[in-house]
Amino acid sequence: MTYRPMATPILKWAGGKRQLLDELYARFPAAYDPGEHAYHEPFLGSGALCFDHEPRRGTVNDRNPRLVNFYRQVRDRPEELIERCRTFPDPNDEPDPALAFTETDRKGRSIDAAYYQQRALFNRRPNGESFDPLDEAARLLYLNRTGFNGLYRENADGEFNVPIGRYVDPDWVRAEQVRGVSRVLRGLGEGAVHHGEYDYVLDVAEPGDLVYFDPPYEPMSPTADFAEYSAGGFDREDQLALLSVVETLADRDIHVVLSNSGVMYDPYVDAGLFVDRVGATRAINSDPDARGEVNEVIATTVPPEQRRGEDQRSLTDF
């Protein structure tokens, strides 16, 4: 038999969950059967849990239209995406005179490296300009892997504005990861990749299904703005509205697992959820001094005696 490796995230994304996979799997309900029930992830981001779990049915969603386009291109055109990424220059090379924004960007700022030229081309969508979906997806991956610390950040006009990073031989093609994620997304079925608000799940989830919410985190302090990665932000009012959706799902016998920052511990406990504090190391932050272990919580509607428990992660098909 040939071993097929688990799919792993393609992108760096704020709040990625690879370090917490065991903690999340331990809170899956024992009654959840991937062959019978669907899995839904309404805040996909890097998709660490979804792509590791490789559900056979379900949906994924994100509010960011460029991120959703990226995953749709990964799903439908993985080899074309890989080949397009292979054409990009080293981010520190001179701008390509055959492309737009050779000397300045839309605001007249000087462009002195290929990275900034590609960044200006990536920002065609928010400026109302025509764009090719495959090109946009490829540039998202390129900028994600070569920009400063893997940040994804937009200004008030919706333009990606992260500066160039410093890397030795960065991999912006990610061929193995693209193929693995493409396999997972195709396995979910037609129409599984949604773009919109998280509450769509109220219309698609059925009793016995599992929903994993990983929203933009409630900041631990006034200067820790996790929500800057999500267009429009995600404030305390949004957090409480999400909690109302969780309660509705639970009333319908739909299992829910959530991640958030530690400041949501009390609201989750007050709502009757089972909540635990966990630690995770964060490498993505615009402030180097703010990186390191952070206080996070995992909450669930699943009582401890009804959980799958530790050391029972889903097995990859052989």
| pLDDT score at 122 | 98
- What's phi and psi for 220, nearest 5 deg? -75, -20
Instruction: Verify that 32 and 85 share a domain, yes or no.
Output: no
| pLDDT score at 309 | 79
Amino acid letter for position 159? E
Instruction: Verify that 222 and 295 share a domain, yes or no.
Output: yes
| pLDDT score at 292 | 47
CB-side neighbour CA atoms (13 Å) of 259: 29
Instruction: Verify that 104 and 86 share a domain, yes or no.
Output: yes
Instruction: Verify that 288 and 209 share a domain, yes or no.
Output: yes
Point out which residues pair with 164 in neighbouring strands: 147
Instruction: Verify that 218 and 291 share a domain, yes or no.
Output: yes
| pLDDT score at 295 | 85
Instruction: Verify that 238 and 287 share a domain, yes or no.
Output: yes
Give domain status of residue 177, yes or no: no
What the block records as the tokens of 167 is: 């890397």
| pLDDT score at 285 | 47
| pLDDT score at 217 | 85
| pLDDT score at 268 | 97
Kindly report the CATH number assigned to the domain that includes residue 130: 1.10.1020.10
Instruction: Verify that 50 and 79 share a domain, yes or no.
Output: no
| DSSP code for 168 | S
- What is d(CA 193, CA 111) in angstroms, rounded to the nearest whole number? 35
Instruction: Verify that 158 and 98 share a domain, yes or no.
Output: yes
Instruction: Verify that 26 and 120 share a domain, yes or no.
Output: no
| pLDDT score at 232 | 56
Instruction: Verify that 76 and 136 share a domain, yes or no.
Output: yes
Give domain status of residue 281, yes or no: yes
Instruction: Verify that 208 and 302 share a domain, yes or no.
Output: yes
- What is d(CA 242, CA 63) in angstroms, rounded to the nearest whole number? 14
Kindly report the CATH number assigned to the domain that includes residue 265: 3.40.50.150
Give domain status of residue 190, yes or no: no
How many structural domains comprise the chain?
2
- What is d(CA 237, CA 213) in angstroms, rounded to the nearest whole number? 16
Instruction: Verify that 96 and 140 share a domain, yes or no.
Output: yes
Query: Residue 98, SS3?
Result: coil
Q: How many angstroms separate the Cα of 198 from the Cα of each of 58, 243, 264?
A: 14, 11, 18
Give domain status of residue 12, yes or no: no
| pLDDT score at 286 | 46
What the block records as the tokens of 306 is: 């009804």
Give domain status of residue 215, yes or no: yes
- CA-wise closest residue to 161 among 153, 149, 169, 171: 153
Q: Among residues 155, 171, 187, which one ends one of the domains? A: 171
pTM as predicted: 0.89
Give domain status of residue 30, yes or no: yes
Give domain status of residue 285, yes or no: yes
Give domain status of residue 15, yes or no: no
Query: Residue 144, SS3?
Result: helix
CA angle 257, 260, 262 (to 5 degrees): 125
Q: What is the pLDDT along the chain (318 residues), one digit of tens a residue?
A: 444 567 999 999 887 788 899 999 999 999 999 989 999 999 999 999 999 999 999 999 999 999 999 999 999 999 999 999 999 999 999 999 999 999 999 999 999 999 999 999 999 999 999 999 999 999 999 999 999 998 999 999 999 999 999 999 999 999 999 999 999 999 998 899 999 999 999 999 999 999 999 999 877 554 444 444 444 578 999 999 999 999 999 999 999 999 999 999 999 999 999 999 997 655 544 454 544 456 899 999 999 999 987 654 544 442
Structural domain containing residue 123? 69-171
What the block records as the tokens of 281 is: 């190391």
- What is d(CA 218, CA 232) in angstroms, rounded to the nearest whole number? 14
